[in-house]
Homo-oligomer: A and B are copies of this chain.
Amino acid sequence: MYRERVRNAALLERITSADEAAKLIRDGMTVGMSGFTRAGEAKAVPMALAERAKTDPLKITLITGASLGNDLDKTMAEAHLLARRIPFQADPALRRAINDGEVMFVDQHLSETVEMLRTRQLGPVDVAVIEAVAITEDGGIVPTTSVGNSASFAILADKVIVEINLAQPDTLEGLHDIYIPSYRPARMPIPIVSPESRVGMPYIPIDPDKIAAIVVTEKLDSSSTILPPDEDTQAIAGHLSEFLQHEVKAGRLTNTLQPLQAGIGTIANAVMHGLIDTPFHNLKMYSEVLQDSTFDLFDAGKLDFASGSSITVSAERYQTVLEDLARYKSRLVLRPQEISNHPEVVRRLGIIGINTALEFDIYGNVNSTHVGGTKMMNGIGGSGDFARNGYMSIFVTKSTAKDDVISSVVPMVSHVDHNEHDVDVLITEYGLADLRGLAPRERAPLIIANCVHPAYREQLGDYYRRAVARGGHTPHVIEEALSWHGRLRETGSMKI
């Protein structure tokens, strides 16, 4: 079967074992691996590397698209294989190693990593390891369920290892649109003018001589770990839908809205799912990860087209999406994350970005990454590419966490990923705050009234009143601004 997938006959002789291929990777190297939010990651070579590290200690800098599935980040972290990890992860074991200071984690906007590699501000990439459904006659690599940074890794690396995954359906071929911006200073505009624009090639074009090894695998992607919508996420979806309908009534949007982007995870997925029961129609997505809700919206006849950088669905959805891809293929495209998240395209298309906050403050600053201001959760991901440059930037979260001992709305966030300038709308299950055109002193009362859990409303109102008494454009009782986080640390609760 792999002979049909490796269509360049000369390359057949480079087929080898994962252990052999992994020998191309040596201590101190920078390795670029495919994989974007549990989709399309190289599966065999990283396992072989981790196994080898048990007896032959080595450390690498690992750059990916985003998070990996199949517990690969866990396995590599536990094998102490990772000196440096770029630009995103979502694994508890790796997170622990990062927070312990063992792994140096460089948390980047997802559109920026390859731009830094291309300009040699990062790198160079010694070896790329790319999962593929096929290699074309002239050596082009056809990615699987994600593009991520794979194209630039393969183009920039000295050597490329391709993992041909027989478990990934060959119908994936033709889904991808590989466009690489030209080198500056002679760069031309990216010709994408709508989510369905196809402007590149269906495979990654590289010199076949760079393909140093091919490994045949047949392991599936991990399923997504999202939870089904619950009462709170349905309430959040309801507030969003009501708000967008109000925008339509005010003449600022039509019922086809603007192209939508949704962050990774349960809440954003539930919010997108919630669009099924709305008057909106002929929607388009220009997003990163296409989750279950994308296909729910297709099935409900609400969505016309979806552009992303990966497909990451639940176990239940796997059959209907990946085993029956033809149903959706004409309405889908997967792009490099540099393009799915590119400021140029995000601004041109006028994306409505919906992302998840860990916490936000009374002035609309958002923390997406750091628990208690210090401990890394996953990373900023692509949220900053969309929040800064899109038409409208919406952040959603539940109003509390851990049985209400943590308020998601605080006097001052303990870490800022998205500041007041980039946050237009905030939503919790209690309500929505539309911050557009408002000064800080107008935002705070609105956020406190609309978004805060009742258990914290008076406490936050009290803080704000005392802050205003001190004055300032953005009033704070500065020595108390982070006291909620200190109290949580000392007493186990933010409550006074």
Q: Once the chains bind, are A187 and B348 in contact (CB under 8 Å)?
A: yes
Task: Name the B residues within 8 Å of A250 (CB-CB).
Answer: 120
Q: Once the chains bind, are B482 and A348 in contact (CB under 8 Å)?
A: no
Q: Once the chains bind, are A122 and B436 in contact (CB under 8 Å)?
A: yes
Q: Which of A95-103, A167-175, A200-208, A310-318 contacts B (4 or more CB under 8 A)?
A: A95-103
A471 within 8 A of B: yes
Q: Select which of B101, B474, B481 is within 8 A of A376 by beta carbon.
A: B474
Nearest B residue to A488, CB-CB: B478
A402 within 8 A of B: no
Task: Name the B residues within 8 Å of A389 (CB-CB).
Answer: 343, 388-389
Task: Name the B residues within 8 Å of A105 (CB-CB).
Answer: 439, 473
A365 within 8 A of B: yes
Q: Once the chains bind, are B365 and A438 in contact (CB under 8 Å)?
A: no
* Shortest beta-carbon distance from A62 to chain B in Å: 13
Q: Once the chains bind, are B478 and A414 in contact (CB under 8 Å)?
A: yes
Bound form: Cα–Cα A107–B365 in Å? 13
Task: Name the B residues within 8 Å of A416 (CB-CB).
Answer: 365, 416, 419
Nearest B residue to A96, CB-CB: B471
Residues A489 and B478 in contact in the complex (CB < 8 Å), given A344-B344, A416-B419: yes
A40 within 8 A of B: no
Q: Select which of B189, B190, B489 is within 8 A of A191 by beta carbon.
A: B189
Q: Once the chains bind, are B374 and A478 in contact (CB under 8 Å)?
A: yes
Residues A370 and B104 in contact in the complex (CB < 8 Å), given A251-B120, A252-B121, A486-B479: no
Q: Once the chains bind, are A474 and B373 in contact (CB under 8 Å)?
A: yes
Interface size class of A (residues with CB under 8 A): 35 or more
Q: Once the chains bind, are B478 and A486 in contact (CB under 8 Å)?
A: yes
A445 within 8 A of B: no
Q: Select which of B115, B372, B441 is within 8 A of A104 by beta carbon.
A: B441
A476 within 8 A of B: yes
Bound form: Cα–Cα A419–B489 in Å? 24
A375 within 8 A of B: yes
A342 within 8 A of B: yes
Task: Name the B residues within 8 Å of A486 (CB-CB).
Answer: 478-479
Task: Name the B residues within 8 Å of A419 (CB-CB).
Answer: 416-417, 419
Task: Name the B residues within 8 Å of A99 (CB-CB).
Answer: 471-473
Name the interface residues of A401-419: CB closer than 8 Å to any CB of B.
Answer: 412, 414-417, 419
Q: Once the chains bind, are B481 and A482 in contact (CB under 8 Å)?
A: yes
A38 within 8 A of B: no
Bound form: Cα–Cα A389–B385 in Å? 9
A184 within 8 A of B: yes
Task: Name the B residues within 8 Å of A342 (CB-CB).
Answer: 347
A65 within 8 A of B: no
Task: Name the B residues within 8 Å of A350 (CB-CB).
Answer: 119, 184-185, 187
Nearest B residue to A363, CB-CB: B415
Nearest B residue to A101, CB-CB: B441
Q: Once the chains bind, are A421 and B473 in contact (CB under 8 Å)?
A: no
Task: Name the B residues within 8 Å of A365 (CB-CB).
Answer: 416
Nearest B residue to A190, CB-CB: B189
Q: Select which of B184, B470, B474 is within 8 A of A415 by beta carbon.
A: B474
Q: Select which of B258, B375, B478 is within 8 A of A473 by beta carbon.
A: B375
Task: Name the B residues within 8 Å of A485 (CB-CB).
Answer: 478
* Shortest beta-carbon distance from A473 to chain B in Å: 4
Q: Residues of A with Cβ closer than 8 Å to B?
A: 84, 86, 98-101, 104-109, 112, 115-116, 119-122, 181, 184-191, 193-194, 250-252, 258-259, 342-344, 346-350, 365, 370, 372-376, 380, 384, 388-389, 391-392, 412, 414-417, 419-421, 424, 436-439, 441-442, 467-468, 470-476, 478-479, 481-483, 485-486, 489
A–B pairs, 14, beta carbons within 8 Å: A104-B438, A106-B437, A116-B437, A120-B250, A189-B348, A343-B388, A344-B347, A374-B472, A380-B421, A384-B421, A388-B388, A478-B485, A479-B489, A482-B482
Known: A414-B478, A416-B419. 4 other contacts (CB 8 A): A104-B439, A121-B252, A184-B258, A187-B349
